[in-house]
Structure formats: C-alpha cells, structure tokens
Structure 1
Amino acid sequence: DVIISVAAVSENMDYCYRNGTVDEVLYIQSGEGKFISNFGNLHVKSGDYIVIPRGVIWQINPTDTVRMLVIESAGPVETPNRYRNRFGQLLEHSPFCERDIQLPELQNPITNKNECLVKVKTQKGIQEYTYSHHPCDVIGWDGYYFPWSISIHDFEPIVGSIHQPPPVHQTFQANGFVICSFVPRLFDFHPGAIPAPYPHSNIDSDEIIYYSKGEFMSRQGIQEESITLHPMGLPHGPQPGKYQSSIGKKHTDELAVMIDTFKPLHVTEAALGIDEANYPLSWMD
C-alpha cells in the first residue's frame, strides 16, 4: 500500500522523472526551489506537501538543498472523506479549504532543441526514454488530474477542552493508510486536563511519526527528521516525567507528520542499519 523514505536534492535534476506505478506525496522538510512538471511549475518551500498523481512527469531544481519525506501510495491520495460533502467540496469544519491548495502555473516556452532524458519507474525498475524535446514545454492542459500542493502551515488545528483523538489531525487518505499533520496548537483547556496524551496501543495500524520542527511535548531526545515506528499492538505514550511537565502548559510548537498504515510495515535493511537500539528503553525511569 505504501513506501516511506527520505531524500535530499542538492542540485538541479538533469533528467525528468515519471512514476508509472504509484502516486507520490513529498513533504518538504527544508530548502526551497522549483517543482517543474508537464502541468506547470510549483514553488517548493519548507512545510509544503506536494501531491503528484502517477504518470506526471516532473523534476526539482533547488535553490538550496531540499530535504524531504517521500510517501509512495499504491492508490490515489485524497482529502479525507469526513471533510467533504457529497459533491466533493471541503466542508466548513475542515482544517483547510480549497483556497489553501496551490496549482501549477504554466512556464514560458522552452526554446532550446535539446533532447531530454525521462526516467520512468515501473514495477520492474527504471526504464529510460529520450525525448527529442522537453516534455514540460506545454501551452495548456485541461481536466482534473494534476499535481498540487498545500502547506502544513495552512492546516488549522482542531482543539478541545479535553484530548482530541488523532483523526482530527488527518490531512490525506489513501488505500491502506492516512497522513496526519501535528501543528502548533492550544493544549486541552479543561481545568483538570493533562495536556500530555495518554498511553495507547494501536491495534488497527502501525504508526510512523516524522519529527519536522519544534519542541515535542511527549518526547525528549528527538531531533529534527527523526522517525519513530510504533507497530500495532505495542503500548506507547509520553516518556516518564512528560505528564508532570505538561501540566499548566498552554500550547505546543511541534511540527510533525504521522502516517498510520492499516497493514504491518516491513522495515528495510537500510533503515535497520540506522536504528536507535535504545529507543524502546526511553520509557524507563
């Protein structure tokens, strides 16, 4: 259903890329640049989610190194059902709206006659094509199939007097998983509320959290771009001392992306090679 990885782009791509097997979501952790596609260009900046349907031809040209979380989905990536009416419009209680969505803008004509290499990802690997012209040299397009972006900074958090369940953070849905955004927000404001979330065991999903920026109320020793995996069925929650230290606090400045998958994730050898072996011991006093 999903492949999760990280990437860094430090120089202009000298080829175009087309994923023929999955839809993609790029969460831009840091850096800035230009996302160029055969539908037009998007400005790339920290905090952006770029949603790329399969088959779109694209490349990224950074002005400085662009670091990103990459999510590849076997099915279409959509806005959550709970926030749409029967016509597909986002409802008034949605944490974002259509005005927050950025669409690609057509660029000036590409006048050079240079050939262009296009790398296409298939089920069997990468296949290369050489175009006699640049595939992004287009004058227009029509329809409802295109790349688009939305900033995590435009996600308006839903808060309450007591702890709100994780679905209030949902930003996208896809076959077999959801993507949620944790953003700066007010803590629970009931006089007896403890802001730190209670321990829990996800019995229906594996939980991935990508820590983007800020101070993380429930964890300590977490750095930017840290990734945690809590498999379904294993209890987890705030570390010792975090309950007490959260009492009286009014807001959090954390920024993180959570991915809940409804089937168990398989960890790659590369990821196991950088595993923090002592992480499970962080709940011990």
Structure 2
Amino acid sequence: MASVLRRGHVPHPPSGMSEFLDEVYTVKGFYGPWASLYRRRNTAHPVAVSDPALLFQGLALGALAPSDATDPAGEPLTLMEGPDAAIKISGRTLAPPFAERHVERHQIRFYHQGEYRLETEFGPFDVGPGDFVVIPAGIIYRETPVTEGAPGTILIFEMDQPVHLAEELWDKVGFAGFYREYSQMELPEPPDRGVGEPTRVRLRYDERWHWFDYDFDPCSDVVGWLGDPVVYKLNVWDMPAIGTADGFLTPPSNAVLWGEDYNWFFNVLGPPAFPSSPPPKGSMGAPAHLNDYDEVWFQHASEFMPESAGDLWSLPRTVPHPGLKREVAFPPNPPRRINEMKLNFDTKSKLYWTDAAKAAWFPDPHVQLYTSLYGTHVGMVPDEAKAVRKH
C-alpha cells in the first residue's frame, strides 16, 4: 500500500493554497508520520482558553531587564524552562568579576546585539551580531563587552543533551546537502600570555550558584589543545536558506545543530529561494501545523518590519501553530541579500514561561503573531497581516 493516501477532497499539496486552510500534523517533530488536513476553520484561534500559556505567546527582548545588564555580578534572566532545556537572555554591559562554568547544561549563545570578547579554556573569540558559539557543559568561559556600558543582547539556549553539528543529518544525503557546510566554523586558539591573574569561577550546579577560587586564570594558562571541535563559533549569515519551486519546507530543513535522538534542533532560517509554482500547487509562507515538540522562534533581523527584530515567540505543542500563505511573487532585480533572519529551536522538552517573561507578553498574540513573526516570514506588511482570515 502507498505510504501517502488520500480521503475526501484534497484541494492542493501541503505547499499550495486554496480557499481551504491546510493544517499539517506530524510526529517526532517533523521526522515521523505526517498528514495534511484541509479545514474550513482555523483551530489555532480558540475563542477562549483555560490558561493563556497554552496558546502561542511572544515578547520583545528589549522589554526585559536581566540583572547582569546593570550588575557586573548579575545573571541572565530565564524566559522559559523545562526538565531538559531552558531559554535565557543576558544583557551584560560591564565586565564580570568572575569566569563561569555551567556544570550540567550545554549552551548555544547567540549574539543578537553588542560586541563581546568571549574567552574560553580553549582560547578567545571576538563575537558580534549574528554569531553563535557552542559551549559544552563543564567548560569555563568569560564574556566581556568590548565597549563598557554599550547595550547588548545575548540569547542563550541551554540543553541537557550534547550539541552536535547537523552534518550528521546531511551526510546521509551526500552532496545533496552541500548547502549546509561548516568550513567557515571558527575555532579558538590559545593565546600565549602566561597564567593570568587569580580568578573566581562561578559555577551553576544543581540549580544553584557556587564558586571556586584559583590563583591563576583558567582562560589564560592553556598553551594548546588537541581533539574534536567542542567549542566553536558560526554566523547565521553564512547559513544559506533553502526552498523549492512550490514553496514550503519544514524548519529542520535548515538545521545547523541538533541533539541526540532528534531531541532538539537549532535551525537558522534566512530568506529562502522564491518559489515559482502558482496556486494551487505553490505558495509563499507555511501551513498551520501541530506536532509533539515545542517551538521557540526568534526574529534577529527584519527589513520589512525592523521593529520586530528582537521579538521572541513560543509556539507550544498544545495548540496548532497558525499558518499564513500568500500567492507567489518575485523580488525585483537586481538580486540582493534580503535582510531577514530567524532562529528556530524545536525541542521534545516541554518549555514553560517564567513569571518574569509572562509579565512582558504582547497584549494580543492572535494579531501580533502575524505582525511580529509571520508577517515578515512571507514579506507582508502589518496592515495586510491583520486582514488575514483567522476563523
């Protein structure tokens, strides 16, 4: 029997559009069985809900105040947390009086705003907007603003699962996955500068802060290293987005990093190639969908709606994620880079908003999801997005 079956009226493939709303259901994130439903109404927009946290919710990182933004000994602000993962924001503007080590969780540190000197046991990096650095659990690091007092925003993804390059996925398809290559990865090199000054190392262990004091600097005394690239830097603008003639591809089609057993995916989504198939076969945008993962979306850059840069959204597994599609259109010549960039974090872990984050939620997620995130995803302007039929 064929693996893809049809029943009832199927007006178009998942990439297309018609008068019906399509909702894709998937298992194991996007890597298991799937089905596409064609509906008359949108189940992503209930008229009432017992707990607003069950809906998609978003906020602007600029509305938050992590304590490390004003206190050199402060700490990042936790926005969402679950048993296996957490999302945090750092706004460090002053040099910390310590180095740091997270004993239990691996980190992806994404630099949205500001320039920093990131020192690690393996060597230093200079980091700025668009860079992201992988720091495994147990590694000592120190993050110092290049310009003291300058504003900065660092989005931190913490996971129990180790971080792997997604080339383990793309190697299975050989050269067909050539677009996702890691040759522009930057590796740290230890500087030759002696043992440094006495240093306190702040440890995060068993959900508490602890510390060690050393009579040297653990980020200075290493003279060399040998082994796998466990600490490294990449930049989102070096990661090309992909598309098809018909349009829609799933977020993990743009995976850069991932966790074991498909536990989580870190996806980088720049503007994809413009589709060329008209409706009903093709479209711009994405269908509504529901699966067994929680999704976090972050708007790093948007030329269509620059005020949405820095917006963070959670699309939980409890409600379908509303789609938004429009007819295919081509950008004007000459070709140029479109300044649009999103991060997507898909995880098996159930993520829960903290009270501090809830206080900064946008007032109307049913509208603002379209104007903040989806509107830019398909090149729509806010007034057009507000007019989308949601019921």
- Shorter-chain TM band: 0.7 to 0.9
User: Residue 280 of structure 1: which of 366, 378, 381 is its match?
Assistant: 366
CA contact (8 A) 1:110 1:134 kept: no
User: Residue 272 of structure 2: which of 161, 176, 185 is its match?
Assistant: 185
Q: Within 5 Å, give how 1:108-147 maps onto structure 2.
A: 108-110=192-194, 112=196, 114-136=197-219, 137-144=221-228, 146-147=230-231
TM-superposed deviation, 1:124: 4.0
Instruction: Mark the CA change 1:221 to 1:96 in structure 2 (over 3 Å): closer, same or farther.
Output: closer
Who wins on radius of gyration, i.e. which is larger?
2
Distance 1:189 1:104 in 2: 43
Q: Are 2:294 and 1:206 aligned?
A: yes
TM-superposed deviation, 1:215: 3.9
Instruction: Mark the CA change 1:153 to 1:128 in structure 2 (over 3 Å): closer, same or farther.
Output: same
Query: What SS does structure 2 have at the residue aligned with 1:235?
Result: coil
Aligned to 1:4: 87
Q: Whose helix fraction is larger, Structure 1's or Structure 2's?
A: 2
Q: Whose strand fraction is larger, Structure 1's or Structure 2's?
A: 1
Higher relative contact order (CA 8 A, sep 6+): 2
User: Residue 174 of structure 1: which of 259, 279, 284 is its match?
Assistant: 259
Aligned to 2:329: 248
CA contact (8 A) 1:201 1:232 kept: no
TM-superposed deviation, 1:233: 4.3
TM-score by length of 1: 0.86
Distance 1:82 1:94 in 2: 12
> After superposition, what is the alpha-carbon deviation per residue over 1:76-121, rounded to whole angstroms, capped at 9, x for unaligned?
01112312359xxx85614332311110021131465x32111111
TM-score by length of 2: 0.64
Unaligned 5+ segments in structure 1 are none
Q: Within 5 Å, give how 1:139-158 maps onto structure 2.
A: 139-144=223-228, 146-158=230-242
Counterpart amino acid of 1:66? G
Distance 1:63 1:161 in 2: 44
Question: How many residue pairs get matched?
Answer: 273
> After superposition, what is the alpha-carbon deviation per residue over 1:120-149, rounded to whole angstroms, capped at 9, x for unaligned?
111141111110111122211222263111
Q: Are 2:320 and 1:235 aligned?
A: yes
Instruction: Mark the CA change 1:100 to 1:76 in structure 2 (over 3 Å): closer, same or farther.
Output: same
Aligned to 1:103: 187
Q: Within 5 Å, give how 1:70-81 maps onto structure 2.
A: 70-80=156-166, 81=168
Aligned to 2:122: 39
TM-superposed deviation, 1:268: 0.9
Q: Are 2:155 and 1:69 aligned?
A: yes
Query: What SS does structure 2 have at the residue aligned with 1:49?
Result: strand
> After superposition, what is the alpha-carbon deviation per residue over 1:34-92, rounded to whole angstroms, capped at 9, x for unaligned?
11011111121211110001111100122144311100010101112312359xxx856
Query: What SS does structure 2 have at the residue aligned with 1:68?
Result: strand
User: Residue 82 of structure 1: which of 153, 169, 173 is its match?
Assistant: 169
Distance 2:312 2:111 in 1: 15
CA RMSD of aligned residues (A): 2.5
User: Residue 264 of structure 1: which of 331, 350, 363 is its match?
Assistant: 350
Distance 1:185 1:23 in 2: 29
CA contact (8 A) 1:109 1:138 kept: no
CA contact (8 A) 2:93 2:152 kept: yes
Distance 2:135 2:214 in 1: 21
Distance 2:257 2:108 in 1: 10
> After superposition, what is the alpha-carbon deviation per residue over 1:174-200, rounded to whole angstroms, capped at 9, x for unaligned?
1532111111332222244321222x2
Unaligned 5+ segments in structure 2 are 1-83, 332-336, 371-385
